[in-house]
Copies of this chain bind each other. A is one copy, B any other.
Amino acid sequence: MYTIVMDCMGSDKGPSVLSEGILRFVKEYQDVKIVAVGRKEDLKTLEGNERIEIVHADDVVPMTAGPLEVMRAKNSSMYKAITLCKENNYDAVCSCGSTGGFLSCATLKLKTIEGIERACLMTQLPTKIPGKTVTTLDVGANNETTPEQLVQFAMMGKIYTQKVKGVENPKVYLLSNGTEDEKGSPEIKEANKLLRESAFEGFEGNVEAREALNGQVDVIVTGGFTGNIFLKTVEGVGKLFSNMIKEAFYLNWHSKLGYLLSKKGFDDIKKTMDYKETGGAMMLGLNGIVVKGHGSSDAKATFSTLRVAYNMAKVNVVELMKEGVKGVN
């Protein structure tokens, strides 16, 4: 039996929508217990389910809350969720609330594993190959990253891709402004050198952003600032195109008919680009499984977030990380 703690107050869609996702999840996964943290009166739909425990929390951390605010908000659902996970040694903790607050609080409470200086935020991005995603990290936990930390991110990304996603020999790349080893920011250049010198298995060199989603790349390693720009550009351009496609079909009666005739393919595009399917971002490098759901998570996105936490718990990703990092060091 796995126990996942869920901060139910974070999503701007509200706790009732989120609760729906929890109910669906416990129905589909019989070996899971959910600890739902939030205002009791908002979580009534969860009552009476024997695999759901409701823990009351008075406060909600605002979306804009920084690390300090969360650490001080001891009665908030977020703080309580993390603390419960830590004190009871539960398998995972999830929240859709303030990214910065959640990650800092989780880092302070759970601490990084040996050999990892800084935790990082990892997500899965769609690629040209239908159904294939690429592990991308750090997408925003750190504003500054040293070359050594980039090497640690490469290790963690590789381990996750191998052990959780089941890719046998993941191809690991550094995101850079050129494919040549000597191209890049000072940190990227140095990280490239370190990975080359250590003969890091699976390291294929640098990849440009233009080719990063071509389906040939399994792990994209980047500093948190650039990674965040990268992730959000993918999202932004995806949204731009989705809007343009919609407008193109809404142009006149025959374009609308055109949509009906080609609907299948466009539904596939929508599915490929749907972030609700991927389940948000994961925090790697901590003594615990920490999953950050999308800020506007609906039932489906909540389900995906829980599934990610579950899958990570099932393979015991924290132990795998510890062993993997030790092995390479």
Known: A212-B236, A234-B233, A238-B241. A255 touches B261 (CB 8 A): yes
Q: Indicate with 1 or 0, residue by residue over A146-161, a CB within 8 angstroms of chain B CB atoms.
A: 0000000000000000
Known: A177-B225, A210-B233, A237-B237. A255 touches B248 (CB 8 A): no
- The chain B residue with its CB closest to the CB of A187 is B225
Q: What residues of chain B lie closer than 8 Å to A233, measured between beta carbons?
A: 209-210, 212, 229-230, 233-234, 237
Interface presence of A14 (CB below 8 A): no
Q: Indicate with 1 or 0, residue by residue over A187-217, a CB within 8 angstroms of chain B CB atoms.
A: 0100000000000000000001111111000
Interface presence of A108 (CB below 8 A): no
Most buried by B among A127, A175, A229, A254: A229
Interface presence of A226 (CB below 8 A): yes
Among the stretches A5-13, A262-270, A285-293, the one at the interface with B is: A262-270
Q: Indicate with 1 or 0, residue by residue over A240-276, a CB within 8 angstroms of chain B CB atoms.
A: 1101110111111011111111111110110010000
Q: How many copies does the complex hold?
A: 2
B251 touches A237 (CB 8 A): no
Interface presence of A235 (CB below 8 A): yes
B265 touches A251 (CB 8 A): yes
Cα of A252 to Cα of B261 in the assembled complex, Å: 9
- The chain B residue with its CB closest to the CB of A272 is B244
- Partner pick for A232 among B209, B244, B247, B248, CB 8 A cutoff: B209
Q: What residues of chain B lie closer than 8 Å to A231, measured between beta carbons?
A: 209
Chain A contact residue count (CB 8 A cutoff) = 64
Task: Tell me the minimal C-beta distance from A198 to chain B in angstroms.
Answer: 23
Interface presence of A170 (CB below 8 A): no
- Partner pick for A239 among B180, B186, B210, CB 8 A cutoff: B210
Task: Tell me the minimal C-beta distance from A207 to chain B in angstroms.
Answer: 10
A140 touches B230 (CB 8 A): no
B229 touches A175 (CB 8 A): yes
A225 touches B258 (CB 8 A): no
Q: What residues of chain B lie closer than 8 Å to A226, measured between beta carbons?
A: 225-226, 229
List of 10 A-B pairs having minimum Cβ-Cβ separation, nearest first: A248-B265, A258-B262, A258-B261, A209-B232, A255-B262, A177-B228, A237-B237, A233-B233, A210-B236, A258-B258
- Partner pick for A225 among B184, B211, B241, B260, CB 8 A cutoff: B184
Cα of A184 to Cα of B229 in the assembled complex, Å: 10
A225 touches B257 (CB 8 A): no
Q: Indicate with 1 or 0, residue by residue over A11-40, a CB within 8 angstroms of chain B CB atoms.
A: 000000000000000000000000000000
Interface presence of A47 (CB below 8 A): no
Q: What residues of chain B lie closer than 8 Å to A144, measured between beta carbons?
A: 185-186
Q: What residues of chain B lie closer than 8 Å to A250, measured between beta carbons?
A: 265
* Additional A-B contact list (5), CB under 8 Å, known A143-B186, A249-B262, A254-B262: A128-B240, A210-B239, A213-B240, A230-B233, A244-B268
